[in-house]
A and B are shown apart, each in its own frame.
Chain A
Amino acid sequence: MPNPKRRWSKSRRDKHRTHYKATVPSMGKCSNCGELKLTHRACPSCGYYNERSMFLPKS
């Protein structure tokens, strides 16, 4: 069976990992209440999606 010839140094390992990046979630303003919300999802603060009330928020 083929096997790695040599151990990879921490430096090489970590260099690979420089490409592991967090992405910014795509946020937009709610058309009903103006709060920041995730796009394509109902607004958690007012319960609206696409000008339509989907649920009533708690409190």
Chain B
Amino acid sequence: MRHRVRGRKLGRTASHRAALLNSLATALLKHKRIQTTLPKAKEARSYVETLITKARKNDLHSRRQIMSVINDKEVVKELFNEIIKKIGDRPGGYTRIVKLGNRMGDDAEMAILELVDFNDVINAKAEEHKEKREAKAKAKKENQEKEVAEEANVVEETAAKEVN
């Protein structure tokens, strides 16, 4: 019987699951917000929260423990230097999950997993990115229109010459 056995297996072997959780945790700490399936998000949530709580001790031992899980030195540095500062003295609950609806293809329920204290930061960045992209698209469109107009002019000119 599997009464009260904690955690989801996520259809993976133990080592595969550990690797998945490690990479989800790394991705979340690196990007501050990730989109994944709802069960994975829920599993990753408790995993990352323990890591962050551990990191808040801010000593060499906790750093080594986290290094053994997150295989990206830069991310560990960022966790200890920036993320912990931003979190301040929040008593747990560092992450947030918001459901998104179901994915095309396999109808899996998708969710966003994000660090609560970074919601505004990411949004501001995304906004900037979007504005840039739109400006680029606009410029491209204008260029195309210009080219089309020029081509039309050329065609007209050649036609006029031929008539002459």
Which residues of A line the B interface, CB within 8 A?
38, 40-42, 44, 49-50, 52-56
Report yes or no: A49 in contact with B130, Cβ–Cβ below 8 A.
Answer: no
Report yes or no: A41 in contact with B100, Cβ–Cβ below 8 A.
Answer: yes
Which parts of B91-135 form the interface with A (CB within 8 Å)?
A: 98-101, 112, 114, 119, 123, 126-127, 130
Report yes or no: B123 in contact with A41, Cβ–Cβ below 8 A.
Answer: no
Set of chain A residues within 8 Å of B101, measured between Cβ atoms: 38, 41-42, 44
Set of chain A residues within 8 Å of B126, measured between Cβ atoms: 55-56
Q: Chain B contact residues (Cβ within 8 angstroms of A): what range?
A: 10 to 19
> What's the least CB distance linking B115 to chain A, in Å?
13
Set of chain B residues within 8 Å of A38, measured between Cβ atoms: 101
Query: Other CB < 8 Å A-B pairs besides A49-B98, A50-B98, A56-B130, 9 of them?
Result: A40-B99, A41-B99, A42-B98, A42-B112, A44-B101, A52-B119, A54-B98, A55-B126, A56-B123
- The 20 listed contacts between A and B (C-beta, < 8 Å) are A38-B101, A41-B98, A41-B99, A41-B101, A42-B98, A42-B99, A42-B112, A49-B98, A50-B98, A52-B119, A53-B119, A53-B123, A54-B98, A54-B112, A54-B114, A55-B112, A56-B123, A56-B126, A56-B127, A56-B130
Which residues of B line the A interface, CB within 8 A?
98-101, 112, 114, 119, 123, 126-127, 130
Interface of B is mostly: strand
List of 7 A-B pairs having minimum Cβ-Cβ separation, nearest first: A41-B99, A49-B98, A56-B126, A54-B98, A42-B98, A41-B101, A53-B123
Chain A minimum-CB-distance residue to B35: A55
